[in-house]
Amino acid sequence: MARADFGKVYSWLPDLKGASGPIYLSIVQALAEDIKAGRLKAGDPLPSQRELAEGLGVNFTTVTRAYEEARSRKLIAAKAGQGTYVRDAEPDRGAKIDATISLVSNWPPPVPALSVVGKALADLASEKGALALEYRGGQLEPAHFDAGRQWLASSFGGDLRDRITLSAGARGAFLAIMSQIVGPGAVMLTEALTWPAIKAVARLLGITLIGVETDGEGILPDALQRACSEHRPKALYCTPTIQNPTASMMGVERRKTIAEIARKNGIAIIEDDAYGKLVPDAPPPIAALAPDVVIYVSGLAKTLASGLRIAYVVSPDAAVAQQIAERLRFTMLLPPPVEIALATRLILSGEAERILSEIKIEMKARHNILRSSLKHADFSAFPGGLHAFVKLPAKWSRAEFINTLARNGVLAAPSDSFAISPSQAPNAIRLSIGAPISGDELEQALQLVANLHEREPAFSSDIV
């Protein structure tokens, strides 16, 4: 087994001479043999994917696939800030977890490419100094809009000039949009289960929400038409791509039908595309199919980093975009100078796409962990998405299940948090699989969920 020095930390390089079959499997086999022979021990650091690819003279994606396979075989693990290392022997996955693992917040996982953020901030400080913090009355630079158009180019074929508005996160965008086009005392439709933040914004603005029945593809057209006829809403809020929390994906024809119903009834669609960038070959947004009736929002917090609270709003025309921009300005919900400068730098330099690419790879591995851990459970999850929606057996109430999980160190969200009406809450929970710091942590939490799922409530006050 030949070795090469990658510095003080990394020191493993397999000898693939004479290996047959796919290269990625040869890497995994060499790794397994070194572990079995004692040449690699639990906790030993391994090269990063890029370093190993360079050392072997192979494609980066080949090493990525090898590391994914090695992790699925429980040979290696990774932690933010520590890199990849040889994994300990299989622990007792039924044990109570010492430190709390939260599967509540729907954030993307940490990935190595995020290390560029530090350099980008340092460069920004070096170039602009204190001017980086200067507030100019909400005035944005042309580059900020160029970055937005570049980020959304894969979703929209046409020119978005004068139709883009920038906001301090998606929540701020929805606050401005809902106050502008719905307003106090009016009705807005949404999926029967929806993002809790929308419920909070509606309460703040005095807007009545009506939940519309859905199926595995999202909002049912007939149910939408009935709700329009009965409630005379001003707008429909929906998430067609990886709906939160059900993880449903609306097909193109359904999107066209929903848009036509909205047009016929004279209502606006507020489209939340929080997760679209995570899905290769996702259907086009409703806003791309029917731009005349849709106000579209896409933020960076779910696709790049949870703290990057920048959202891009695409309006039907320049006039609507200007109205929303004015409302954002008056409510101080335009992007903070440092955050928009950082987001713009990452997008225009191509680093944002590199971060996104690594997040997609990591989420693919996490979905493998999800399927393996919950193979006996009834759940829905769309490939690339940050969450899974798990139906509970009748023996469990969701409150009892959630509370027992919490006592054993795992936090999850009950369907009640998403339901417009209590009667619309199914016996289910949402698990955010992007939130844990590592795949190992996710697997430990999901194994506890699986164990609890199989047990009787009376015997599950503590899992040992």
pLDDT tens digits, one per residue of 181-232:
999 999 999 999 999 999 999 999 999 999 999 999 999 999 999 999 999 9
| 314/70 Cα distance (integer angstroms) | 42
Report helix, strand or coil for 1: coil
CB 437, CB 269: distance < 8 Å = no
What is the arithmetic mean of pLDDT over 423-447?
94
The single residue listed with the structure tokens 């989420």 is 363
pLDDT tens digits, one per residue of 308-360:
999 999 999 999 999 999 999 888 888 888 899 999 999 999 999 999 999 99
Structural domains of the chain sorted by starting position, each given as residue range(s) with its CATH number in brackets: 23-86 (1.10.10.10), 101-114+360-459 (3.90.1150.10), 120-352 (3.40.640.10)
Report helix, strand or coil for 325: helix
**Sign of the C-alpha dihedral, residues 238, 241, 246, 248?**
positive
Look at residue 138 in the predicted model and tell me its pLDDT.
62
Report helix, strand or coil for 449: helix
What is the arithmetic mean of pLDDT over 47-73?
83
Q: Is 24 left (phi over 0), alpha (psi -120 to 50) or beta?
A: alpha
CB 369, CB 447: distance < 8 Å = no
Q: Which helix (H) or strand (E) holds 69?
A: helix 60-72
What is the arithmetic mean of pLDDT over 77-104?
70
The single residue listed with the structure tokens 């954030």 is 107
Q: Give the pair of three-digit tokens for residue 338.
A: 């440092």
| 464/461 Cα distance (integer angstroms) | 10
pLDDT tens digits, one per residue of 360-411:
999 999 999 999 999 999 999 999 999 999 999 999 999 999 999 998 899 9
Report helix, strand or coil for 451: helix
